[in-house]
Amino acid sequence: MSTPIVDSHVHLFPASHLPTLAWYGPNSPLGTQHSVNEYRHAALSVPTSANTPGKYLRGFIFLETDRISSVDDRSGPGWKHALDEVSLLTRIALGEPEPGEGHSAVDKDLCLGIVPWAPVPGGPDVLQKYMAKVKERTKTDNIWRKVCGVRYLVQDKPAGVMLSTEFVDALRWLGREGLAFDLGIDARQGGLHQLREAVEMMDKVYAGTEGNGLNIVINHLCKPNLRILPDSVSTHEEYLEWKNLITKMASASESTYMKLSGAFAELPPLSRKVEPDISDLVSRLQPWTDVVFDAFGCERVMFGSDWPVCNVGGGGNDVSWNRWRRVIEEILERRELTEEQKQGVWGQVAVKAYGVEL
């Protein structure tokens, strides 16, 4: 039986777009082109055809790359760079590359979903205006249907952003439009207060029946402090509060999901030349991943590579994607999931959460 992998968290950017990225600088470890060509190289460990038994890469869901932007389009950098990113993904999905962009016509079927940046704190009216411009950039109804959600990173924003009336109402608007919201927060560097605020935000969004149409897809286990020494995890105050808050996020609604992604950025870095002991990595992650599976159930947990960010701590583009795939394989084995449940984590949960078509 073949198992389609839907990589639920991939970033793409050609070298020509680097100056438009908010995090880019001369010493950035990701400061080179990372487009579909490089992604295909990273994922060479699995075929892209369903004609062979085992796992195959069916495609990816693109996540916005934190372009220089502002909620208000009338001042500051505005929406230009974010909308240009939508145009890039449109060209990828149409198979119509511009010179040097790092993709070709054969890549178009890999793009299953597009999650662009959006000015969520501006409220529903601003969000509706922006999404109309996104629709214009996608050119065709077929590509517009691939826009399956939005993200506005809150991991580096001031406290309180998620709790504003405008933010909450914008999320409810997304739900009415059938669009998911990707939640990016950072427990380790941003602080656990971000998770507390996210729980309160979810309670507001899902109060009554107003937010019932919204799927919230949580990124990267909320970036927990995976550098806590394994022998002290179970009693560590950070772990215990993270566990409590993750459980509350899962219970906020059956429409909240979690991505198994992002861990290489939080673990001690791996060497490119020396293969890690996958079992040791899984043992270090297991107290955290067990919480996720216990809270969400395997029906709301999905695989994501966080490529190319996984390269920074995972050993580089030649090895990191495959290492993370092997980690997830062993995590699922230790959970003793059925083949059907494994297929869900590898792809079907993402298909359901984002409403994409295979």
- What is the token pair recorded at 137? 């950039």
- Show the CA angle centred on residue 90, arms to residues 88 and 96, nearest 5°: 85
For the beta sheet containing 301-303, the strands, ordered from the edge strand earlier in sequence to the opposite edge, are 149-151, 180-183, 216-218, 256-260, 301-303
Q: What would the pLDDT profile of 164-179 be if each residue is shown by its tens digit?
A: 999 999 999 999 999 9
- What is the token pair recorded at 234? 């179970």
The predicted pLDDT at position 211 comes to: 66
Q: Where are the domains of the chain?
A: 2-354
Q: How far apart are CA 192 and CA 197, in angstroms?
A: 9
Q: What would the pLDDT profile of 259-287 be if each residue is shown by its tens digit?
A: 999 999 999 999 999 999 999 999 999 99
Q: What would the pLDDT profile of 318-328 be if each residue is shown by its tens digit?
A: 999 999 999 99
**Alpha helices (H) along 276-319:** 278-296, 310-314
Name the percent of the chain in helix, strand, coil, to the closest 5. Answer: 45, 15, 40
Q: Give Cα separations from 47 to 38, 157, 159, 328 (angstroms).
A: 15, 39, 44, 17
- What is the token pair recorded at 99? 């010179």
pLDDT > 90? residue 15: yes
Q: Which helix (H) or strand (E) holds 246?
A: helix 237-252
- Per DSSP, the three-state class of 333 is helix
10 strand-pairing partners:
62, 307
The predicted pLDDT at position 184 comes to: 98
Percent of the chain with pLDDT over 90: 94
Q: How far apart are CA 316 and CA 321, in angstroms?
A: 9
pLDDT band of residue 53 (cuts 50, 70, 90) is confident
- What is the token pair recorded at 15? 């070298």
pLDDT > 70? residue 352: yes
2-354: CATH class: alpha beta
- Per DSSP, the three-state class of 339 is helix
Closest alpha carbon to 234 in 191, 196, 284, 277: 284
Question: Cβ distance 223 to 265 under 8 Å?
Answer: yes
- What is the token pair recorded at 90? 């449109």
pLDDT > 80? residue 52: no
Strands (E), 19-127: 54-63, 111-115
pLDDT band of residue 358 (cuts 50, 70, 90) is confident
Amino acid at 313: G
Side-chain-side CA neighbours of 140 within 13 Å: the count stands at 7
Q: Which helix (H) or strand (E) holds 80?
A: helix 80-94
Q: How far apart are CA 147 and CA 357, in angstroms?
A: 11
Name the CA radius of gyration of the chain, rounded. 19
Question: Cβ distance 307 to 36 under 8 Å?
Answer: no
Give me the mean pLDDT over the 307-328 stretch.
98
- Per DSSP, the three-state class of 206 is coil
The predicted pLDDT at position 1 comes to: 73
How close are the terminal C-alpha atoms of the chain, in Å?
17
The predicted pLDDT at position 176 comes to: 95
Closest alpha carbon to 342 in 357, 329, 352: 329
Q: Which helix (H) or strand (E) holds 2?
A: strand 2-10
Q: What would the pLDDT profile of 183-232 be if each residue is shown by its tens digit?
A: 999 999 999 999 999 999 999 999 977 667 999 999 999 999 999 988 99
Q: How far apart are CA 23 and CA 42, in angstroms?
A: 22
- Average pLDDT of the chain, as a whole number: 96
Q: Give Cα separations from 300 to 45, 122, 329 (angstroms).
A: 26, 29, 17
